[in-house]
Structure 1
Amino acid sequence: MPYTPDKPTLAESSDELRARIPGWGADLDPKDRPAVPREKFDPDLNGARWRFPERQPERWPRERSIEHKFLTPVFGTSCPPRGLSGAIRRYSYRTYSEARAAHWLLLLAADRVDVVESTLRSFLTRRPDNPLIGSGVISEFTHHGPASRAQGKRVDQVHHGLDPIIVAAPWVLAAGLAYAGARRIIRRTRRSMH
C-alpha cells in the first residue's frame, strides 16, 4: 500500500524474476554490492515513528488521481481550484488516468482558462493588470531590446516576429470584441428610443 513504511510484496519470487530477466539479482550477493561492508540491512530501520503519517485536514474536495485510493497525507493548499478552470481540473482528475494524454491536455487548458479568469478578475479591482508593463514591452525600448535581439546568438531569434502577435493579439481581440459589443448595445438602445 502506498504511503506506509512497509515495503510492498513482490509479485514474483527472486527465482522467477531471475529466470525471466537476464541479469536480475546480480547484486543479491553482499560481496558484489558496492556499499559492502558499510551497508547494514535492518528491516525495522526506516526512521518512521508512525504506522501511517498524520493526515492533513482536507478543507475542500481536492483533486486526486483515479489511480490512488486516497489523497496523499500532505498536499498543497496554496491554489484551490475555482471557477471554470477548477471545474476543468476536477473533471480531468475524476475522468482520466494520469497515463492518458487527455488528462494532461485538460490540465494545460485549465491553466490557460485560469489566466483569462485572473485577467478578468483583475479588471474588477482598483488596479487592473497592465499588459504593457506585465509583458515587459516597455523594457524593450528602455533597456536596448532591439539591439540585443539583433546582436549575438540568441536561441529565441526564430520567434521574434511572433512575440508581438502572441502578446498583443489576445488584448486586441478582447478590445475589438468589447468595442463591437458596446456598439451593438448602443445601436439597440437608440433603435428602441426612436
Structure 2
Amino acid sequence: MPYTADKPANAESSAALRARIPGWGADLDPKDRPAVPREQFDPGLSGAPWDFPERQPERWPRERSIEHAMLTPVFGTSCPPRGLSGAMRRYAYRRYSEARAAHWLLLLAADRVDVAESRVRSALRGHPDPIVPTGLHAEVTHHGRASRLGRGRTDVGHQPIDAVIQAVPWVLGGVAVYGLVRRVRRNRRD
C-alpha cells in the first residue's frame, strides 16, 4: 500500500501471473521473441555496404550540441540560422548543454525573434501580410463560421482576441511609421 508504513506485498510469481492473465510472459522464452535476432550485434546482418555513411556537406557552420563531437552524417537544413535569431541559436548551442533549461528557452526566444524578423523583412520588401496570420482570409473562404458554431469547439472563446493580438503589432508599426514620416516632413519644413 503506498504512503503507509505497511510492508508491500511480494510480487506474484510468473506461474501465478500466467494463470491469472492470459498471454502473460509470452515473450519470456527467447524462441518466442521476434526481436531476439536483432538484439544480437552482428555487423554482417545489416546489409549496409559501409561502416560509416558518407557525410552530408556543411554549407555553413551548423549548430551542434556541446555534448556531441560531430554532427550526424545527415542533418536537416530547413531553417538556416540568420540574423539575430541565428546568433541566438548559435549562442544557445555554443554555451549551454541540451540538458539546461536556458538552452531551450533561448531557442524558443530565437523562434519568436525569427517571426518578428520575417515580418519586418516582408514589410521592407513591400509585401506586409497582416491578414494571413490572423486567419481572417480562411474564415471567409473555408466556412470558418460554420465550423465554429454548434460544434462544441473549445477554442471558440479566444478566437475574437486572436485577430486583435495579430493586428496590434501591425497597427502600432503603422502608427510609428506615420509619426516618423510626419516628424521628418516637419523637420524638412523648418
Give the corresponding residue for 2:7.
Answer: none
Matched, 1:81 2:108: no
- For 1:96 and 1:48, the matched residues in 2 are separated by 35
**TM-aligned CA deviation for residue 94 of structure 1:** 0.7
Residue in 1 aligned with 2:114? 114
Alignment partners' CA distance in 1, 2:141 and 2:57? 49
The answer as to 2:26 corresponding to 1:53 is no
Match of 2:151 in 1: 152
Alpha-carbon distance in structure 2 between the residues aligned to 1:159 and 1:151: 16
Does the Cα contact within 8 Å between 2:134 and 2:162 map onto a contact in 1?
no
The answer to whether the Cα contact below 8 Å between 2:65 and 2:94 also exists between their aligned partners in 1 is yes
SS where residue 48 of structure 1 aligns?
coil
Trace 1:35-54 onto structure 2 (pairs within 5 A): 35=33, 39=37, 41=40, 43-44=42-43, 45-54=45-54
Q: How many residues align?
A: 163
Per-residue CA deviation, residues 58-88 of structure 1 (Å, 9 max, x unaligned), is 1111110111011111112233211111111
User: Judging changes above 3 Å, is the alpha-carbon distance between structure 1 residues 153 and 189 closer, same or farther for their aligned structure 2 residues?
Assistant: same
The Cα shift of 1:36 comes to 6.2
* Secondary structure of 1:113 counterpart: helix
Q: How does 1:98-113 map to 2 (within 5 A)?
A: 98-113=98-113
Pick closer, same or farther for the CA change 1:33–1:172 going to 2, 3 Å: farther
> Residues of 1 paired with 2:35 and 2:142: CA distance?
60
Shift in alpha-carbon separation, 1:92–1:42, aligned structure 2, 3 A = closer
Q: RMSD of the alignment, in Å?
A: 2.9
- TM superposition shift of 1:124: 3.8
- Note the residue ranges of structure 2 that are not aligned, 5 or more in a row: 1-24
The aligned counterpart of 1:63 is 63
In the alignment, the residues of structure 1 paired with residue 106 and residue 96 of structure 2 have an alpha-carbon distance, to the nearest angstrom, of: 10
Unpaired runs of 5+ in structure 1? 1-26
Give the Cα–Cα distance (whole angstroms) in 2 for the partners of residues 189 and 159 of structure 1. 46
Q: Which residue does the alignment assign to 1:163?
A: 162
Equivalent in the alignment of 1:16: none
Distance in 1 (CA, whole Å) between partners of 2:78 and 2:34 is: 44
CA distance in 2, matches of 1:51, 1:57: 18
Q: Is the 8 A contact 2:66 2:96 kept in 1?
A: yes
Other structure's SS at 1:72 match = coil
Q: Normalising to structure 1: TM-score of the pair? A: 0.70
The aligned residue for residue 31 of structure 1 is: 29
Cα distance in structure 2, aligned partners of 1:145 and 1:66: 46
SS at match of 1:131: coil
